[in-house]
Structure 1
């Protein structure tokens, strides 16, 4: 609805004296808007008091027209209040603010600051800096707020040097001891991830308030350094600085990363006993902390105690149930949500994808699209993971064409990595390589994904070439990198290279090999027939080999017919997981290749006695975006008769051409 019109303004001088009273009565029921952040400002002028309750540009322009006609707008303070509404109110108009600013003959520091702040709020940092330069050229005396607003503008640039230049200016102008400015500097460096620079500014502060400590604690928490964040919080308490609710939210975030439940409960008790303003955001942080610490009962207790819940409260509970593996309750909470946003949908999709429920994840994604909810990066990362699990290459390609080529979502690094992984696992190695080569910047995850892609597709030499390229770029490989490198050597049968890279892990890069790396080496040695060497490596590992290690040895024994060593590996495997039907199948196959039929019968009898059933073979295919699964002797598909009839025709044509199937 359009805003209500003001009463007709009186034109005679006598009636004009009564105008403020009329307007005051008209706006008496209006709530105080949130655009006026200066709560200490006391305004006694009736017309200006009315403007403080203004909540639309239509109302503001009518009041401004009256102020112009009566000459009130010619004064600096009334003009500054009109300007403040235009740039700070959610109902404001920055273009109108420019016109007002241009008409002020001699704007003071507050007015310049207001315009700079307005440009920053409107995500126009270049305009903020341009106005700041004009302010300098006009020799206007700046104050601490000027520099804080300019630093806020600098945070919106990817280049750090702009903020560093403002830092130099701060020293030259003598603001290096101003707490407000130094807090702004700390926040700037934290926002850009430069924790060393932020800590240097923080340590040089002559005095620190709760904002100083909270900014630095939040920086460590956001950067994935929860231990350092909590150490700083402990120092803050020792300094008798009273934390506020924002401090506690950052502390709870750090505890969530550590999964330290006992510490989380201590902090919760501290919040209960303190005089903190317990906001909905703080309560949400508590729910999130308990969920990430695998204490879903406490998360539910906090959730149930909340008088007001928002979408993040519900989403935190969805995440809590998903993390503890209760997908049914997570979905029940998701379906019960009074409102959902993209984060809510992403959380439930991620829960399915991370639990290998690819079909449910993709079904929910299709439902999300049907509801016209725009996905975010995290949504697509989870959906692409589900595509990789189920082999839905067509859907993965559609996502790229629709969201990336369609300019709906920007292809950031984490999303590009997910696409590479999806393409590789769905068999399109060329698309994975093309996307990798087109990436303007890459992290170690990008390199790992591409190395692993080459490795699993049998391109061992290409994987090793890429590994050398990685090192030449100054990147430091991690343990995941070496899984790809050693897998590549195993697939390509490169024994010498594999042994060299395995030694380099610890001697050059300081990485202690894990069970997965030993499994790769056992697989490498076993595949080329060096079974005794593979066995000795399995026996000499610092940790007991897992299913992958003994499984690699058993498979190698099956390939090369070493029944005695294979039986030993099989016994080790059955001791680790006696319910895995694949172990019995491998053992049976090994015995069958050596015509040891009595042993084959023993394995089958063992399966019957233990109640182990062979997992039926499964194949899948995607047609027009729909996923179809088929098991051995499966007739559940709606078109099973047509499918089997087509297969019979294919077999008939093969026999006509002379094909004889192996027995």
Structure 2
């Protein structure tokens, strides 16, 4: 073995004695820097004993210098330990490992395998596979582990065909009956989403160990096939193989996906009966299952009994309470987390955003940035949703510029969809179009978001054209597509087109019209003045009529002054939601416009009897990055007098511009 180390420092006897005095490292350091330490070899050489406790590259270089000076580095085993630390330790350096490997005349199979593993660990699969190909070209006698590590590298590639080539080599070498490799292949195909191939290998295996079962169960869970994962777990319990902790975590994750609390409790009881050691990972999996199945009381009991908790434990509970709408308790838990990470922040920000409290969501986002936490995709999706709710265009534009344009974050399809939605709801349809056009890959949500953007902002024909383009490309619309499409037809007055789409939904696309589709059609017909047809459609709905349908009809009555039908619609709406002040207000305005003052008085009396109060209108405006809220007749703002003076001036100027001003009848307003 030749080895040149002109750049390595000479390790003085004093330095070497210092390293010896540091041995063994503390238990904390040993756990933190554990790196494939040997368990089946008794090491007696003092230098190699120190080597096993090495924790930094600086220490490693000093040890290497001493091994070079003493000639120990020319031996295979010491060299393999140096290589293993550089390639596999958390504090190692895979590039340095490559330099070491290049100076080895005849690397053994362990060294080759170490390099493949090291590059897999470093998430550089091309280099890992390069070393595997070099083994093939140099006709190195590889073992099963070489092929397993090659498959691990293939899991990191975007396409499955590279792994299939390794599978072919396994067959040629006659290793396909080896359990280790069968398990590796099942794991590879399951990881890549080729579940049929994985299951075929699983079923063909004459002998299955716990890894075989777990790989297949975990594969189903990872691809959201929770039923198959749970069924396979039940079959496993009938076999002679007992599940291990990884199996239980995988099947608990399947229960979380499915919301199967019954099966989750069964697994929990199984763990109790087997008297299995509750590791933190297993406790967190149980906690996550109870949270996602909506059993927050049990989750809290489990959390309180945990002797050790990590950030995942806390975040899981925060997420559960935030999603259930108990944001005050979620915030209380969040404030108690000893060390928060980006996932913790995401859980609370998403909770506020999803529960229609966008101001708090944006405030948290600013606090998160202030604490130096770098947001991820999920963070920005929730923040963009909050921007949409507040029409906070400036912050949305800053997010796009800072994180997307400056490439601080990967521009994923999900993030692009959120941006389209945000721009559309802020009225910036051109910006939404630009994002949509710039997308290299689009999913159905992308098309739906853009169609909805056109529907909400006016250009109905563009929504129709985009739908036609989408279907020509072979994409199958869903029920959300048709809600946006029918809304576009309604806003654009495209009655015949709307009828056509509604009539062909089920026949051409297999989508049975739901309540929301009927509501869109009633709105379409009502806006066009076809009130009788709208009323006929609402009374012939094959399901119970919803608030949206009656609301659409009531609004149409307002537009076309049909007081009789308005009363009937309002009566049905109030039977569904008697506390909605907007229904009373709208009906009173319709009656006032028709000069039915007795009806107006009756509606006002009914509101008083029911104890219903008109909620004041409110609006938001963004000033210097801060959201300001204004209520109708609000005088709480310190500059309210100046604000009202400006509004009066604007109102006066608008009246001068109006050639035929219409007097505002205060009887048309309630409150």
Alpha-carbon offset, residue 552 of structure 1 = 0.9
Alpha-carbon offset, residue 133 of structure 1 = 1.5
1:100 to 1:270, Cα distance in 2 relative to 1, 3 A = same
Provide the rounded CA distance (Å) in 1 between the counterparts of 2:650 and 2:464: 42
Partner of 2:332: 332
Partner of 1:662: 663
Alpha-carbon offset, residue 656 of structure 1 = 6.0
Aligned positions of 1:421-500 closer than 5 A: 421-500=421-500
Contact 1:64 1:82 in 2 (8 A): yes
Provide the rounded CA distance (Å) in 1 between the counterparts of 2:525 and 2:465: 22
Provide the rounded CA distance (Å) in 2 between the counterparts of 1:22 and 1:485: 75
Partner of 2:255: 255
1:467 to 1:22, Cα distance in 2 relative to 1, 3 A = closer
Provide the rounded CA distance (Å) in 1 between the counterparts of 2:339 and 2:50: 36
Moved more, 432-441 or 76-85: 76-85
- Per-residue CA shift, 1:225-269, capped at 9, x if unaligned? 222221121122122321111211121211112222222222211
Provide the rounded CA distance (Å) in 2 between the counterparts of 1:232 and 1:501: 43
Partner of 2:515: 515
Provide the rounded CA distance (Å) in 2 between the counterparts of 1:482 and 1:651: 40
Structure 2 residue aligned with 1:27, among 23, 26, 30? 23
Contact 2:419 2:432 in 1 (8 A): yes
Partner of 1:82: 82
Provide the rounded CA distance (Å) in 1 between the counterparts of 2:18 and 2:549: 86
Partner of 2:569: 569
1:303 to 1:458, Cα distance in 2 relative to 1, 3 A = same
Alpha-carbon offset, residue 385 of structure 1 = 0.3
Aligned positions of 1:254-653 closer than 5 A: 254-653=254-653
1:385 to 1:26, Cα distance in 2 relative to 1, 3 A = closer
Alpha-carbon offset, residue 29 of structure 1 = 4.9
Contact 1:57 1:91 in 2 (8 A): yes
SS at match of 2:615: coil
Alpha-carbon offset, residue 592 of structure 1 = 2.2
- Per-residue CA shift, 1:311-350, capped at 9, x if unaligned? 1111011012112221100000111111100110111000
- Aligned pairs, number: 650
Provide the rounded CA distance (Å) in 1 between the counterparts of 2:582 and 2:101: 77
Contact 1:591 1:600 in 2 (8 A): yes
Partner of 1:109: 109
Alpha-carbon offset, residue 38 of structure 1 = 4.6
Provide the rounded CA distance (Å) in 2 between the counterparts of 1:597 and 1:181: 85
Structure 2 residue aligned with 1:8, among 4, 13, 27? 13
Provide the rounded CA distance (Å) in 2 between the counterparts of 1:470 and 1:38: 58
Provide the rounded CA distance (Å) in 2 between the counterparts of 1:131 and 1:455: 55
Provide the rounded CA distance (Å) in 2 between the counterparts of 1:466 and 1:159: 31
Provide the rounded CA distance (Å) in 2 between the counterparts of 1:657 and 1:514: 46
1:469 to 1:307, Cα distance in 2 relative to 1, 3 A = same
Provide the rounded CA distance (Å) in 2 between the counterparts of 1:207 and 1:230: 21
SS at match of 2:481: helix
Partner of 2:667: none
1:401 to 1:612, Cα distance in 2 relative to 1, 3 A = same
Moved more, 227-236 or 94-103: 94-103
Provide the rounded CA distance (Å) in 1 between the counterparts of 2:41 and 2:551: 75
Provide the rounded CA distance (Å) in 1 between the counterparts of 2:599 and 2:469: 50
SS at match of 1:607: helix
Alpha-carbon offset, residue 198 of structure 1 = 2.6
Contact 2:318 2:334 in 1 (8 A): yes
Moved more, 132-141 or 563-572: 563-572
Provide the rounded CA distance (Å) in 2 between the counterparts of 1:203 and 1:441: 36
Alpha-carbon offset, residue 127 of structure 1 = 1.3
Aligned positions of 1:36-115 closer than 5 A: 36=36, 38-115=38-115
Moved more, 542-551 or 74-83: 74-83
Provide the rounded CA distance (Å) in 1 between the counterparts of 2:38 and 2:24: 21
Contact 2:37 2:52 in 1 (8 A): no
C-alpha RMSD of matched pairs (Å): 2.1
SS at match of 1:622: strand
Partner of 1:16: none
Provide the rounded CA distance (Å) in 2 between the counterparts of 1:413 and 1:553: 37
- Per-residue CA shift, 1:285-324, capped at 9, x if unaligned? 1111111122111111111111111111110110121122
Moved more, 494-503 or 546-555: 494-503
Contact 1:294 1:323 in 2 (8 A): no
SS at match of 1:147: helix
Moved more, 547-556 or 32-41: 32-41
Partner of 1:237: 237
Contact 2:25 2:53 in 1 (8 A): no
1:204 to 1:658, Cα distance in 2 relative to 1, 3 A = closer
1:507 to 1:76, Cα distance in 2 relative to 1, 3 A = same
Contact 2:280 2:309 in 1 (8 A): yes
Partner of 1:15: none
Provide the rounded CA distance (Å) in 1 between the counterparts of 2:441 and 2:655: 54
In the superposition, the TM-score normalised over structure 1's length comes to 0.94
Segments of structure 1 that go 5 or more residues without pairing to the other structure are 11-18
Contact 1:388 1:422 in 2 (8 A): yes
Provide the rounded CA distance (Å) in 2 between the counterparts of 1:154 and 1:320: 36
Contact 1:579 1:612 in 2 (8 A): yes
Partner of 2:225: 225
Segments of structure 2 that go 5 or more residues without pairing to the other structure are 1-9, 665-671
Provide the rounded CA distance (Å) in 2 between the counterparts of 1:518 and 1:120: 54
In the superposition, the TM-score normalised over structure 2's length comes to 0.93
Contact 2:186 2:198 in 1 (8 A): yes
Contact 1:217 1:251 in 2 (8 A): yes
- Per-residue CA shift, 1:538-566, capped at 9, x if unaligned? 22222111110111111112222333322
Moved more, 411-420 or 321-330: 321-330
Provide the rounded CA distance (Å) in 1 between the counterparts of 2:422 and 2:530: 34
- Per-residue CA shift, 1:404-463, capped at 9, x if unaligned? 112211111111111011000110011111111110001111111111111111221111
Contact 1:581 1:613 in 2 (8 A): yes
- Per-residue CA shift, 1:148-173, capped at 9, x if unaligned? 21122222222332222222222222
Moved more, 145-154 or 256-265: 256-265
SS at match of 2:622: strand
Provide the rounded CA distance (Å) in 2 between the counterparts of 1:175 and 1:88: 26
Contact 1:177 1:206 in 2 (8 A): no
